[in-house]
Chain A
């Protein structure tokens, strides 16, 4: 197992897409991968989450109870998933929207002001990419070139001009994790 991560946030924060990008990148790197969404009326209530696994061996369960990493884009997500992070794992949270400090002391805590950075870049919708950048830096789960390939694939033909912005957002997220 290289990485299992739960990504969570409001519907509309691009959580599902962020997960799919990581999954796709893992596939480009010739890893075994899976992406599993939480589905059902829960989504209607405004929260969304997905689980991504990147592994050397075939993926067993695509749902995990103790992920190595959690990305929390909003407070309800932090409340729900902070307790699950595997001891020694990493918890990345969006400090633009979450104004309480996590309480775990046995995991690595990374605060990313994702919305502010995205706003600086001129497009608040890339906050998810900033978070993804932080995850990539913290875990080195997939290669940068694979993420770029995934992004190219994810953006529709007439939106390829957004590629540099997305890459920039990922780079900014990376920089915050040293």
Chain B
């Protein structure tokens, strides 16, 4: 019999701690599938963030390091400089990457570090219980924007991918989503391309993935997927934002 559904080898055979309806699990799987497909599990080193994905080091079977909050790109820089022939990726949430770690990601991109960053944008701080993130949409209520995000006091969401695409360093930047099957397929392609560019030494790569947090958004998993589609997509348009092989896009 042919197995049609198999756990990727790069994914550990353990249950994850993620809440029902959270898309971190899907994203882990996509990364693991790409690592398998490229046959690089023995030369991949991942960097786990501080956030809901802090335990990612338990879920991937490649080597992993756990970094301080926001500092994964700096840690990855250290690893990659020591192991230039390896594939190094960071896995970071929006609080980790776009708030406290904004300097590290900008400079890793500017240096064109040969790493791949998987940026999980769920518009909230999941791990700490639902505080406002830099990517929280205007008007959205969180535990630290209890009256709704007021842009006159709490500023505007940051479009990290577009911002980093203004730099010369990055080789590939894409924004994808995992709210339905078609988009999951596209997300996987983008992750694969990012890893391939890294392995070819083309430069810094980042894939931003729009994600859900039903628990802290306070809605059901289905409603959460709908929110990605109807509210996040208009603010965070999908697509390949930078690809040095194709020239500037959009």
Chains A and B share a contact (CB less than 8 Å): yes
**Closest-CB distance, A44 to chain B (whole angstroms):** 6
Name the CB-closest residue of B to A41.
B17
A75 to B211, CA, bound (A): 34
Residues of B within 8 Å of A45, CB to CB, are 17
With a CB–CB cut-off of 8 A, which chain A residues contact B17? 41, 44-45
Proximity bits, A28-46, B CB within 8 Å = 1, else 0 = 0000000000000100110
Expressed in whole angstroms, the Cα–Cα distance for A44 and B215 within the complex equals 9
Question: B interface, by DSSP: helix, strand, loop or mixed?
Answer: loop
Report A38 CB to chain B, min CB distance, Å.
Answer: 14
The interface residues of chain A lying within 8 Å CB-to-CB of B19 are 44
Cα-based distance from A45 to B215 in the complex (angstroms): 12
Task: List residues of chain A with CB within 8 A of the CB of B215.
Answer: 44
The residue in chain A whose Cβ has the minimal distance to the Cβ of B54 is A41
The bracket for how many chain B residues form the interface is: under 10
B34-70 CB contacts (< 8 Å) to partner A? none
- Kindly list chain B residues whose C-beta atoms are within 8 Å of the C-beta of A44: 17, 19, 215
Nearest to B19 among chain A residues (CB) is A44
For chain A, residues 1 to 54, give those with C-beta under 8 angstroms from any C-beta of chain B.
41, 44-45
Chain A residue total in the interface (Cβ 8 A): 3
B93 CB → nearest A CB, Å: 15
Contact with B along A85-99 (1 / 0, CB 8 A): 000000000000000
Name A45's closest neighbour in chain B (CB-CB). B17
CA distance A138 to B17 in the complex (A): 38
Q: With A and B bound together, what is the CA distance between A43 and B17 in angstroms? A: 11
The CA of A44 and the CA of B20, in the complex, are separated in Å by 10
Return B78 CB to nearest CB of chain A, in Å.
Answer: 28
B195: shortest Cβ distance to chain A, in Å? Answer: 30
List of 5 A-B pairs having minimum Cβ-Cβ separation, nearest first? A44-B19, A41-B17, A44-B215, A44-B17, A45-B17
5 A-B pairs with CB atoms under 8 Å apart are A41-B17, A44-B17, A44-B19, A44-B215, A45-B17
CA distance A47 to B19 in the complex (A): 13
- Shortest CB-to-CB span from A47 to chain B, Å, is 13
CB interface residues, B 199-236, toward A, < 8 Å: 215
Shortest CB distance B49–A (Å): 15
Q: In the assembly, what is the distance between CA of A44 and CA of B213, in Å?
A: 12
- Chain B residues near A41: list those with CB within 8 A: 17
Once bound together, how far apart are the Cα atoms of A41 and B215, in whole Å? 12
Closest chain B residue to A39, Cβ basis = B129
Docked CA distance A45–B18 (Å)? 9
Bitwise, B121-147 to A at CB < 8 A (1) or not (0) is 000000000000000000000000000
A41 to chain B, nearest CB (A): 7
Please give the distance in Å from A10's CB to the nearest CB on chain B: 14
Interface residues of B in 5-27 (CB under 8 A from A): 17, 19
The distance in angstroms between the C-alpha atoms of A14 and B19, with both chains bound, is 20
CB distance from B215 to the nearest CB of A (A): 7
Measured in the bound complex, the distance between the Cα atoms of B163 and A128 in whole Å is: 51
A41–B55 Cα distance when bound, in Å, is 12
Interface string of B91-129 (1 = CB under 8 A from A): 000000000000000000000000000000000000000
Instruction: Output the least CB separation between A42 and chain B (Å).
Output: 10
Q: B189 CB to closest chain A CB, in angstroms?
A: 32
